[in-house]
A and B are shown apart, each in its own frame.
Chain A
Amino acid sequence: MAKEPQSTPDLALDDYRFGFAMPERSVHKTGLGLTEAVVREISAIKEEGPWMLDFRLQALKIFEEKSLPNWGADLGGIDFDAITYYLRATDKQSQSWDDLPQEIKDTYDRIGVPEAEKKFLAGVSAQYESEVVYESVNRELDKLGVIFCDMDTAVKKYPDLVREHFGKLIPSHDNKFAALNSAVWSGGSFVYVPKGVKVNLPLQAYFRINAEAFGQFERTLIIAEEGSYVHYIEGCTAPIYTTNSLHSAVVEIIVKEGARVRYTTVQNWSKNIYNLVTKRARAEKNAVMEWIDCNIGSGVTMKYPAVYLTGEGARGEVLSIAYAGKSQHQDAGAKMFHLAPNTTSRVVSKSIAKDGGRSSYRGMVHIAPGATGSKASVVCDALLLDETSRSDTYPTMRIQEKRSSFEHEATVEKIGEEKLYYLMSRGINKSEAESLLVNGFIEPIVKEIPLEYSIELNRLIQLEMEGSIG
């Protein structure tokens, strides 16, 4: 990415440029590094109200004050001064297909991603055919009163709704990367589901990708009113390539009484990425929150989806899959906070490490005084494919209520020679046999994922195992 002098936005000029579709070298790309000017510039480009600007500036201060976490993965390689914090979607087209690393192109070919989709995913083009699909989905949602738009739009169109919840579950001071996101966020989804409405079709960020769905500092807020249901899916199985090395998102979800939200992630960032994401949900009385979190890509991931079980009878679930191949470190897990009586939580984590990769489960179960009759269960299974790979489990339990129950189970399994031998004796080669066993290992979670994703996920893992990617 070329270094450019920072420039102040000229909004009139923007309209002009946009209208004539002037390419590249847009003024709407902040320079390298993070300063107050950059934050002000982002806010100005987005024509935000003063409250959001204040929110951003405050977050910037917190970001500067906070140090990097001294636990988890090694983040020493992040150079905050070498990152462009804001890129407009139009700028992303400036990259050419030919400039992409061969391995990314090969992967697209092997996965069989259609041409148009490939280019979008590679950040080459913002045009995408499913825009039409998105429009028709949106009309259906309109009828139900469901709002599904990008976060930038939501701030402008639904300021009260956004302001009530934005940054409340994950305040800027939660951690350094939540602060960073709060300062420079752009894109992400806003979902509002009215009382009693059940959205049967999963909402996919996929459908509105030309609205910056895959921003690197995206911000997502989902509000599910009483008795409603929605399934949100982010990411996709094809690797997402970007030259920027940091992805730091914040996702907040409010699940009101009797509502249910399922949030599925299939993360496959390219291997140069630090993927540091904060995800948290609040589940009110008898509400259900389910995170299904699959991490295949990135160089380093630190992500621990959390559920605050604040209402009696609330239920939280995290099902996660992490695959750590060569030079990858997946530090993933879950956090469950039982803050009301008769709340239940379940964590199932399946991690796989191969070729010197490292997968860690890091989790927290907190049962607060008064959360009587609560039940928590954590199962983490690790599968190691060779001697050089590593798996760790870091569970933390804070059980402050005697009248509750907690179970923790952890297994580490080396892929068995005997099982490989059996499969090979049926004419399957070693890497196919390994991927069959790995897919079998994660099957209990994969079956929770919509079919088109699970097939791709299995195929992707198979490709990873063959060592044909990255």
Chain B
Amino acid sequence: MLSLQNISASVEDKEILHDISFAFAPGTTYAILGPNGSGKSTLGNTIMGHPDFTLTEGDIFFGETSLKNLSPDERAKLGIFLSFQNPLPLPGVSVMDLFRMALVSSKKLDAMSLHKKVKAFAEELNIKDELLRRSLHEGFSGGEKKKIEVLEAALLEPTVAIFDEIDTGVDVDALKLITTFIKKHLPKETTLVYITHSHKLLSILNPSTVLVLKNGRLIKTGDHTLAEEIEKNGFEQI
């Protein structure tokens, strides 16, 4: 579905990602691991089309479509979703405002159904009602931010969903709630990609494929045993 073909990416002329190739299959769960600064978040943002990251080499394909010259909203419309590691507060913009713009005005959903859907999802995720009316991410706790991100994923029903450190600031119970929610509400054929360095997340997820990034390179891929190996020996041994 989503395939990275020899991609290199830079920020302000500094190359961060070097020659990464990988093809993600539909309906499969992946984990991207790597030490801090290995380029994991950069990879997620490069796929989503962050304006600060330039694809210097290679190309990213979504099916037959090259993403190279597409803006983030065009990529989102194709079915790519990125849950942000640390989303900025958006004063005066509530989650309802956002999705009225994203879904209602493009006629994907009517206002009433949107409202019902958001309410139901929020209840399942233990998100307080009041949070839905407040400015998005403004004064939200770490856990609240992550839950809202996941709620957004469920509303958008992406084909490829990337979750960047969905586990930070989230306790084990909430994490279980979040991952169960994702499994339940995202389409079966959706590719799930978790960027993390948390073993507790990995043990809950049980990803079918693990990708290890180091110094901006994809140095190894394997099944869940690779994750166990890393947990035991650290990244140094790989």
Contacts and interface: CB of A to CB of B under 8 A. Distances in A.
Main DSSP-derived SS at the A contact region:
helix
Contacts of B52: 417
A433 B156 CA distance: 17
B82 interface: yes
Interface in B22-71: 48-52, 71
Interface string A426-459: 1111101100110111111000000000000000
Q: Which of A424, A429, A432 has the most CB of B within 10 A?
A: A424
Contact of B76 (A418, A425, A430, A440): A425
B102 A427 contact: yes
A416 B71 contact: no
B71 A427 contact: no
Contact of B88 (A416, A430, A439): A416
Nearest to B79: A427
A436 B98 contact: yes
B222 interface: no
A427 B88 contact: no
13 contacts: A417-B52, A424-B72, A424-B73, A425-B49, A425-B76, A426-B73, A426-B76, A428-B101, A429-B71, A430-B71, A433-B73, A440-B97, A440-B135
A443 B51 contact: no
A443 B106 CA distance: 23
Nearest to B48: A425
A426 B93 contact: no
A189 B73 CA distance: 48
Interface of B: 48-52, 71-73, 75-77, 81-82, 84, 87-88, 90-93, 97-99, 101-103, 105-106, 135, 152, 156
B73 A428 contact: yes
A439 B87 CA distance: 19
A443 B92 CA distance: 6
Q: Which of A425, A429, A441, A442 has the most CB of B within 10 A?
A: A425
Nearest to B92: A440
B73 A429 contact: yes
A378 to B, nearest CB: 19
Q: Which of B88, B90, B105, B135 has the most CB of A within 10 A?
A: B90
Contacts of B75: 425
Given A417-B51, A430-B71, A430-B73, A422 B84 contact: yes
B192 to A, nearest CB: 17
Q: Which of A418, A424, A426, A444 has the most CB of B within 10 A?
A: A426
Given A428-B98, A430-B73, A441 B51 contact: no
A421 B135 CA distance: 17
Q: Which 9 A-B pairs have the closest CB atoms?
A: A440-B92, A443-B92, A427-B76, A424-B72, A440-B93, A424-B73, A425-B72, A427-B102, A429-B73
A424 B82 CA distance: 11
